[in-house]
Amino acid sequence: MKDMFEEKIGELEEYRWITIQECSEKMGISVRTLYKYLNEGKIKGVIYLRRRMIDSISVIGYLLEKKCLEINQIKNEEIKKQLNHSNW
């Protein structure tokens, strides 16, 4: 059985900062859910030029924390380093 997050993680590894809309589309969850995760501190984001930007590493870290994926599924070595430094 193919892991449903495998292709989504590949898309998240492309860019460090993504918009709420992009993250919503890539992860298949609503914009409202993303704002909820931001408010609860589950994922990290910033406001840049009046746009909310999501830290894709925090999204990957959240998925690791929830055991939706494993660290060996992440192909980008730089992201693995960042995850190790942020204690995900």
pLDDT, tens digit (0-9, with 9 covering 90-100), for 31-45: 999 999 999 999 999
What CATH number is attached to the domain comprising 48?
1.10.10
pLDDT, tens digit (0-9, with 9 covering 90-100), for 53-87: 999 889 988 988 888 888 888 788 888 888 877 76
57 assigned to some structural domain: yes
Helix or strand run (H / E) with residue 8: helix 6-12
pTM of the full structure: 0.77
3-state percent helix, strand, coil for the chain, nearest multiple of 5: 55, 15, 35
Residue 55's beta-bridge partner residues? 17
1 assigned to some structural domain: no
28 assigned to some structural domain: yes
Contacts of 37 (CB under 8 A, 6+ apart): 43, 62
**Number of domains into which the chain is organized:** 1
Domain of 25, in residue numbers? 6-85
